[in-house]
């Protein structure tokens, strides 16, 4: 038994200073140090165990013992051909006869008006990871037009999006137009999920009653108004928001909360989390806005490096071809611009000159949907690149040199100490760049 192979459900990925084995059937990741990565690569590339021992010494047998104990692979008497599991997928047809891909979320910007004028929205130098918030879409501030979103509704519904999200500005300022669109949608597709992103200040009893009748979800954005408008006006606004949230709960309306802060503003996050202590939102997410070239630390809302990794069988293979955040998303702003994400500043087309399906057919969406981690300078050499779900807007800013990579990740490519995940029983600290431990 002189040759080793991983089982088909174990996939080996190399990073710049380390590696990882994706144990797909158990949905977990096994970390490898720099030296362990090199030893495993040698074994999998037709190297015999005996020859490997001459190069790496007894350490290679310690590695093999742990790999076999953990049922990650097995030994063979001779060289064998093996390959890892890959899911069956339909033939990818590129042209007019192809099926439209699954749309997870379709964003519709109903208007660009708002009851407030917050600095985060008013200043073009801010970059948002806030597609779940009420933040104004950056491109919509630059492009003007008299487009009526309702005219595109029929084409949008043909895409069969899993969730429709109405945004602004504040879409509640056009509630009459919005509820007319909702009625059309529900008549055609009664089970269609619909969400409304707003700041909550325009919520009234009639809106809540109609929203509940049509089973709408409301995502209400919270901002530290005292920091933007001063303590007196800020307290008044927060009290108004509290009254609106209590009104939602009175009518048993499903609502979510998005906390929008300036990057690194931990104090505002604490204040707003404390504000929600006695409220009952269905979920709470945090979005951050970064002023160009002004912030180098990691976003508070992002878990970093290895902590971000959540093994997911479907996502792992999808992310080898598509961007984990952009894939399956589409947006239409109030000027008719077709976008891959509400927060991007690049258009993939303009409706009605371009049909909603046109960006799929002419390849203009490929630039965004297929912008996988292998194409990103900051991520291409990371062994966790197929499991992270970073914000595409932040990634683009990093690629363009506007922000530092640390904004969304501090991982340097080498396994960190203290995780208790390493394969070897004894330390390999004598080898540069290598750390040991126990699995």
Token look-up 């087309």 returns 349
The answer on pLDDT for 413 being more than 90 is no
User: What's the mean per-residue pLDDT of the chain?
Assistant: 83
Top-ranked range on mean pLDDT: pick from 98-112, 115-129, 210-224, 298-312: 210-224
The two beta strands, 349-350 and 337-339, are: antiparallel
Q: Please tell me whether residues 252 and 295 are part of one structural domain.
A: yes
Q: Per-residue pLDDT tens for 269-315?
A: 999 999 999 899 999 999 999 988 777 788 887 765 555 556 666 77
The answer as to whether 111 is a domain residue is yes
Q: Please tell me whether residues 250 and 371 are part of one structural domain.
A: yes
Token look-up 């509704």 returns 153
Domain boundary among 339, 360, 375: 375
Q: Please tell me whether residues 182 and 296 are part of one structural domain.
A: yes
The answer as to whether 91 is a domain residue is no
- CB-based burial label for 16 (10 Å; 0-12, 13-18, 19+): middle
Q: Per-residue pLDDT tens for 127-168?
A: 888 788 998 888 766 666 667 888 899 999 988 999 999 998
Q: Please tell me whether residues 109 and 11 are part of one structural domain.
A: no
Q: Please tell me whether residues 218 and 343 are part of one structural domain.
A: yes
Q: Please tell me whether residues 238 and 310 are part of one structural domain.
A: yes
Q: Please tell me whether residues 53 and 147 are part of one structural domain.
A: no
Which candidate, 188, 132, 152, 161, places its Cα nearest to that of 343?
Answer: 132
* Cβ atoms 211, 196 nearer than 8 A: yes
The answer as to whether 392 is a domain residue is no
The answer on pLDDT for 16 being more than 80 is yes
Domain boundary among 35, 60, 76: 76
The answer as to whether 418 is a domain residue is no
The residue with greater pLDDT, 88 or 156, is 156
Which candidate, 309, 378, 301, 394, places its Cα nearest to that of 344?
Answer: 394
Distance separating alpha carbons of residues 242 and 239, to the nearest angstrom: 5
The answer as to whether 319 is a domain residue is yes
Q: Which domain holds residue 329?
A: 105-375
What's the CATH code of the domain at 339?
A: 3.20.20.70
Q: Please tell me whether residues 319 and 175 are part of one structural domain.
A: yes
At residue 427, the pLDDT reads 33
Domain boundary among 351, 375, 399: 375
Q: What are phi and psi of 344, to 5 degrees?
A: -80, 155
Q: Please tell me whether residues 47 and 117 are part of one structural domain.
A: no
DSSP states of 68-118 as a string?
A: HHTTSEEEESS----------------STTSPPPP-SEEEEE--S--S---
The answer as to whether 343 is a domain residue is yes
Whole-angstrom CA distances from 415 to 18, 61, 373, 379 are: 6, 21, 19, 15
Q: Please tell me whether residues 62 and 115 are part of one structural domain.
A: no
The answer as to whether 294 is a domain residue is yes
Q: Tell me how many domains the chain contains.
A: 2
Q: How far is CA 174 from its chain centroid?
A: 29
Q: Please tell me whether residues 273 and 192 are part of one structural domain.
A: yes
The answer as to whether 390 is a domain residue is no
Which candidate, 199, 205, 237, places its Cα nearest to that of 218?
Answer: 199
Mean pLDDT of 4-25: 89
Q: Please tell me whether residues 38 and 153 are part of one structural domain.
A: no
Other Cβ atoms within 10 Å of 136 Cβ, number: 28
């Amino acid at each position: 038994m002189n040759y080793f192979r991983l089982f088909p459900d174990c996939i080996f990925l190399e990073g710049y200073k380390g590696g990882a084995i994706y144990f797909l059937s158990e949905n977990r990741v096994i970390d490898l140090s720099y030296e362990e990565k090199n030893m495993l690569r040698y074994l999998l590339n037709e190297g015999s165990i005996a020859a490997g021992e001459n190069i790496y010494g007894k350490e290679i047998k310690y590695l093999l013992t742990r790999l076999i104990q953990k049922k990650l692979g097995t030994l063979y008497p001779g060289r064998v051909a093996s390959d890892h599991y890959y899911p069956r997928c339909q033939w990818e047809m590129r042209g007019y006869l192809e099926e439209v891909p699954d749309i997870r979320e379709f964003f519709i910007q109903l208007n660009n008006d708002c009851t407030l004028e917050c600095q985060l929205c008013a200043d073009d130098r801010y970059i948002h990871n806030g597609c779940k918030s009420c933040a104004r879409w950056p491109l919509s501030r630059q492009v003007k037009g008299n487009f009526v979103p309702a005219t595109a509704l029929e084409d949008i519904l043909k895409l069969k999006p899993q969730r429709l999200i109405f945004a602004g500005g504040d879409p509640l300022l056009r509630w009459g137009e919005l509820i007319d669109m909702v009625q059309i949608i529900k008549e055609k597709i009664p089970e269609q999920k619909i969400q409304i992103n707003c700041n909550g200040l325009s919520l009234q009893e009639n809106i809540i009653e109609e929203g509940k009748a049509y089973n709408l979800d409301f995502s209400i954005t919270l901002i530290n108004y005292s920091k933007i408008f001063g303590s007196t006006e800020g307290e008044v606004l927060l009290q108004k928001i509290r009254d609106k949230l209590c009104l939602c709960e009175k009518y048993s309306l499903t609502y979510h909360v998005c906390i929008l802060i300036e990057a690194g503003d931990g104090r505002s996050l604490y204040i707003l989390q404390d504000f929600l202590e006695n409220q009952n939102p269905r979920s709470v997410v945090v979005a951050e806005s970064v002023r160009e070239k002004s912030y180098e630390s990691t976003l508070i809302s992002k878990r970093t490096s290895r902590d971000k990794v959540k093994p997911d069988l479907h996502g792992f293979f999808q992310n080898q071809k598509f961007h984990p955040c952009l894939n399956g998303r589409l947006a239409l702003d109030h000027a008719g611009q077709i976008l891959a994400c509400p927060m991007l500043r690049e258009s993939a087309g303009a409706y009605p000159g371009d049909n909603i399906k046109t960006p799929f057919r002419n390849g203009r969406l490929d630039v965004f949907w297929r912008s996988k981690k292998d194409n990103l300078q900051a991520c291409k050499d990371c062994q966790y690149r197929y499991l992270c779900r970073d914000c595409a807007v932040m990634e683009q800013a990093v690629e363009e040199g506007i922000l530092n990579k640390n904004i969304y990740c501090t991982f340097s490519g080498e396994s960190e100490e203290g995780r208790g995940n390493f394969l070897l029983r004894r330390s390999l600290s004598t080898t540069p760049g290598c750390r040991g431990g126990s699995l």
